Amino acid sequence: MHAARDMKLIVLGSGTCVPSLKRNAPGYYLEAEGFRILVDCGSGTLLQLEKAGKSYRDIDSVFITHKHPDHFADLMPLVHALIATPKLNRNRDLYIFCPKGFVEYYEASVVSVLGHPNGFSVRTIETPDKLDFGPFNIITAKTIHSKDSIAYRFECGGKAIVFTGDADYDQGVIALARNADLLIADCSFPDSMKARGHLSAKECGMVAAKAGVKKLALSHLYPADPPDTDRIRESGENFDGEIVLAEDLMTINI
């Protein structure tokens, strides 16, 4: 019975806006109790889903962290595929939970091109501070990155996964990640390339340590001169828990 309440995460994209043959733009697949959601869906996410043995046909909802293209560029292709795939005949609604201002963007940029589907609705909802969706209890927090950026905490069956989205170091992210089983952190750069609005590797470790998380996954990795594995060492200077470097199509069960 317990296994049915486990959460399954697949990293679809561990990269950024910079095109890479190794790391797709940000996107994560999260599944629990038959509910299948995407957290962000950057360019290439639909193809990554196919590579992971999952399907765009089964997605119940998309949760978007902020309005930068590398985090939502495959949203229009997703809706287009659900509308136009022969014999699909989807009849359940697609929910899009999004930050402030995105509902208006969706209407202007997606609906103006694709119109409204027949047979199902696309329900765009500005993400509240707390909500329930399927088996998930979801909590959000504003992050230091862009005007609209938010982080997400998904709880199910007594377990918790936190996605920082793009975020700089602050107490809000630490509080959201408190005692999480898994923290997926924006580790854009090694310490030597620290950029405003993003966590450095060392800061990822600091957040994980102060929040008391069980496992830290470093993701949203920009290309850099030092090897990516250096970020594990730098994060480990402050965090003595398990640290993994996110890789595309990596699966983590919680």
* Whole-number Å distance between alpha carbons of 199 and 89: 42
Percent of the chain with pLDDT over 90: 98
pLDDT at residue 2, as a whole number: 43
176-228 pLDDT, tens digit per residue, is 999 999 999 999 999 999 999 999 999 999 999 999 999 999 999 999 999 99
Q: Which CATH architecture has domain 2-246?
A: 4-Layer Sandwich (3.60)
**Sequence-distant (≥ 6) Cβ neighbours of residue 22 within 8 angstroms:** 15, 248
Closest by CA position to 210, among listed 242, 171, 182, 236? 171
| Cα dist from 68 to 6, 8, 63, 153, whole Å | 31, 26, 13, 20
Does the pTM surpass 0.85? The reply is yes
44-94 pLDDT, tens digit per residue, is 999 999 999 999 999 999 999 999 999 999 999 999 999 999 999 999 999
